[in-house]
Structure 1
Amino acid sequence: METVSEVVVGAHRYRAHETGIGRAGEVTTVLLHGIGMTHRSLAKVQEAMPATRRVLNIDLAGFGPNPAPRHGLSVEEYGRDLAEVLARRGAWPAIVAGHSMGTQFAVELARIRPRDVLGIALIGPVVDPARGTVRQQALDLARDTVGEPPSVNALVLRDYFRGGIRWYLKELGAMMRYPMLERIAECVADTVVIRGERDPIAREAWCELLAAASGGHTEAVSVPGRRHVVPRTAPDAVARELVRLAERVERRTADAAPRR
């Protein structure tokens, strides 16, 4: 059963779609969508998670049903807002999974809340500095669109249309400016980097570079035959990796706990 709650931080509205019942000693799994998208891009991953796992799938301020703030938000501002959203929802400790631009929010949360974010999953991470111009990113997005299933492209277009081009362009600048490599080096959370084998946006060399730069234990996973929107085309595979990550950090936490 899914419940939806609204959280307003300052003047910014967020919506959390929650499923599962967390058990003692288990972390919450948080899902963060990318630029132009909504929680729907990760809904199938949420559905594939075990019912015993508490999952929060969040619509970010300015996207989906949430009104656009008066000014564009930086990744750092989103990170601070999300930390408050998760605190109000009682979601700590957590593993945070982001897709596309959502990977930047995940890294920022892990950087500013190292005791609360125990693991991060970077699914189709952006922005590859070797392809660090808007033109190159647009070309890679076009290449990906050609190879994605029609149902995925229809979902993307609906979400883009709903959020509006003006807000998309404001957040595009924030996405392009965020120093992903610098910031992930400051993260100590366990990390898994997940990409579709044929993803032209999150290319293999870039994902390997991110994994090497991470300040925590990192694994890299490639999903055969899939492209950038791998949470929609291979949700079971993504969910399995999130469960593995959660179990790994839970074991580490249990081992570190003082014995009585």
Structure 2
Amino acid sequence: MDSSGSRRRVPRRPASSLAERWTTVDGIDVFYRESVVPPDAPAMVHVHGFGLSGRYLLPTAERLQDEFHTLVPDLPGFGRSGKAPNGLDVPDLAHAAARFLNERGIERATLVGNSMGCPVILEFAHHYPERIDRAVLVSPAGGAYNRPLRRAVGQLSVDSAREPTRMVGVAVPDYLRFGVPSTVRMFRALTQYPSLQRLLELRIPTLVVIGDRDPLMPHAARVQEVANATDNHVLAVQIEGAAHAINFSHSGELAHLIRSFMADRPIVDDPDSPGHARLYEIHRSANLPPVV
């Protein structure tokens, strides 16, 4: 790695059917994956969670690559991307995401986040409302429910036992690369971020997806209570049997949900996944576009 934090000269075997590419954001080398689709396809950016790279988002992103201009970046400081000199907090990451879109010449996109990626999306929508079409918030983490750090560590320990075993090979190298100092700094920024306030400010169609086995999330009744307080086109859906990393563990169900949401279709079980996890609505705002 050179003085700019570059990792782009390290040869690696491609890990995805998406093209692997590099760009530069604020002088930092940023690694990303991108689908090859017609230029008029709507853009969809997948935003990863705490300490991780975009690699664990690929199972869902790859399922959607033929329908959307799909991008999966490693945000600055994460994964294969270079690090900022002083680290980044949630607003910094949101601004970096906007400048990443600038580099790609993308004016508007739907943003799909998991865990920490959800606060990043909320902050992006706060600063750049004209640049986001829809928001998909999967297992949105942060805030009082994950404080203090020892509680979050306990929640993560429980969750790790509920995720597919193959997730270990994806997550552990990312966490080791992210490092302890970055973990402590980012945890503080994430849990102090005003996620609820930003959610209530949203004025775009928003899909919230939670798993009924996710120890980092409040129970469904609390999620429904929060959704009921909004007037911002919120659709909340629960997937039975899912824990926190839904984009990795339940990619078929999640991709089906996203397609239905994007097309304003009713939320029903995926007919192509019989016998798999059941998904169902727990809240639908009256302000959502009518289903067709």
1:34 match? 49
Determine what percentage of the aligned residue pairs are the same residue: 25
TM-score if structure 1 supplies the norm length? 0.88
Pairwise CA distance, 1:179 = 0.7
1:72 match? 87
Q: Secondary structure at the match of 2:201?
A: coil
- The whole-number CA distance in structure 1 between the counterparts of 2:124 and 2:143 is 20
CA contact (8 A) 1:27 1:246 kept: no
1:257 match? none
- After TM superposition, the structure 1 = structure 2 runs for residues 84-123 of structure 1, keeping only pairs within 5 Å, are 84-123=99-138
Pairwise CA distance, 1:67 = 2.3
- After TM superposition, the structure 1 = structure 2 runs for residues 60-209 of structure 1, keeping only pairs within 5 Å, are 60-203=75-218, 204-209=220-225
Higher helix share: 1
Q: Secondary structure at the match of 1:115?
A: helix
Flag structure 1 segments of 5+ consecutive residues without an equivalent.
250-260
Pairwise CA distance, 1:166 = 2.4
TM-score if structure 2 supplies the norm length? 0.79
2:14 match? none
Pairwise CA distance, 1:214 = 4.4
Q: Secondary structure at the match of 1:149?
A: coil
- The whole-number CA distance in structure 1 between the counterparts of 2:133 and 2:226 is 18
Q: Secondary structure at the match of 2:55?
A: helix
Deviation sequence 1:138-164 (CA, Å, 0-9, x none): 111111112222211332112111222
163-172 vs 116-125, which moves further: 163-172
- The whole-number CA distance in structure 1 between the counterparts of 2:49 and 2:172 is 13
- The whole-number CA distance in structure 1 between the counterparts of 2:230 and 2:55 is 28
Pairwise CA distance, 1:194 = 0.6
Deviating beyond 3 angstroms after TM superposition, the runs of 4 or more aligned structure 1 residues are 212-215
Pairwise CA distance, 1:60 = 0.8
2:259 match? 243
- The whole-number CA distance in structure 2 between the counterparts of 1:127 and 1:94 is 24
- The whole-number CA distance in structure 1 between the counterparts of 2:141 and 2:222 is 9
Tell me the matched-pair count.
251
Candidates 24, 27, 31, aligned match of 1:8: 24
Deviation sequence 1:59-99 (CA, Å, 0-9, x none): 01111112221112111111111111112212332110110
- The whole-number CA distance in structure 1 between the counterparts of 2:82 and 2:145 is 34
CA contact (8 A) 1:184 1:213 kept: no
Pairwise CA distance, 1:175 = 0.9
Q: Secondary structure at the match of 2:29?
A: strand
The answer to whether residue 63 in structure 2 is matched with residue 48 in structure 1 is yes
1:19 match? 35
Q: Which has the larger radius of gyration?
A: 2
Deviation sequence 1:100-156 (CA, Å, 0-9, x none): 001111111111111220111111111252443222211111111122222113321
CA contact (8 A) 2:49 2:114 kept: yes
Deviation sequence 1:176-212 (CA, Å, 0-9, x none): 1111011112221210111112111123245335434
1:214 to 1:106, Cα distance in 2 relative to 1, 3 A = farther
Flag structure 2 segments of 5+ consecutive residues without an equivalent.
1-16, 266-292
